[in-house]
Amino acid sequence: MSPGALWCASATGRAGAAAAVVFGLLSAVAAPQLQAQIRGVVVEDARPGRPAPNLILPYVTAAGVGAEPYELRLELGRVVVLAFCPQLGGGGCLDLWRTWGRAESPFGDDVSLVGISGDSASVALAVVGREGWGGRFLTDLRGREGRRWGVPPGDGVAVFVVGPEGRVAYRDLQFRLLDSGSQAALQGGIQAARRSSGGGDRVP
């Protein structure tokens, strides 16, 4: 190979290596954004004190499927407790709703209690009808809204409290029904939402 050809090959190799390094750095920086785009989800900042992301999902009650999707923004003026869980009929979610769903107003008449699960409408309707639970149960079949609110994957329960002005007053991403600390913190979050002062962010 001629000296000129050797120089060209060396230069091409150096340029290729440099491009690979730059591409790797850009990929590392852009990875979270690329993953969000691939998944089709933009994670909102649903921390206490921030405006609550609007939530629009189909829902069921013990009486049947709702005629129109549920919209969180239509609850302005009320305190709303949102409970996200993977499946209504499984694990901690079943125990949770067997406690909350059978009480007429577990947190008071001024509080709307809303469940969100990854069940289909038919599965959710079967469980809610069998158990006789009151309230509305939203169906987030692909988990898109849960991810948008920052709910971690897994089989746990995540609870958010939204105040009458539409801001997140409290959240617990690992709510435990039988844990007295979880219960007390949730009640404190509801009281804070009533005062519209922001309740806090519980880290177990």
Distance between CA atoms of residues 128 and 88, nearest Å: 8
Q: Does domain 56-202 have CATH number 3.40.30.10?
A: yes
Beta-carbon contacts of residue 126 (< 8 Å; ≥ 6 apart)? none
Q: What is the mean pLDDT of residues 163-169?
A: 95
pLDDT at 180 over 70: yes
In this predicted structure, what is the pLDDT of residue 90?
Answer: 86
In this predicted structure, what is the pLDDT of residue 200?
Answer: 55
Contact 114, 179 (CB under 8 A): no
Confidence of residue 103 (pLDDT cuts 50, 70, 90): confident
Confidence of residue 43 (pLDDT cuts 50, 70, 90): confident
Distance between CA atoms of residues 139 and 86, nearest Å: 10
The pair of structure tokens assigned to 33 is 């954004």
Contact 48, 59 (CB under 8 A): no
- DSSP alpha helix (H) spans, 72-143: 91-100, 121-131
Contact 128, 95 (CB under 8 A): no
Look at the pTM and tell me if it is higher than 0.85. no
The residues pairing with 176 across neighbouring beta strands, listed in sequence order, are none
Average pLDDT, the chain: 81
Confidence of residue 39 (pLDDT cuts 50, 70, 90): very low
User: CB atoms < 10 A from the CB of 202, how many?
Assistant: 20
In this predicted structure, what is the pLDDT of residue 118?
Answer: 95
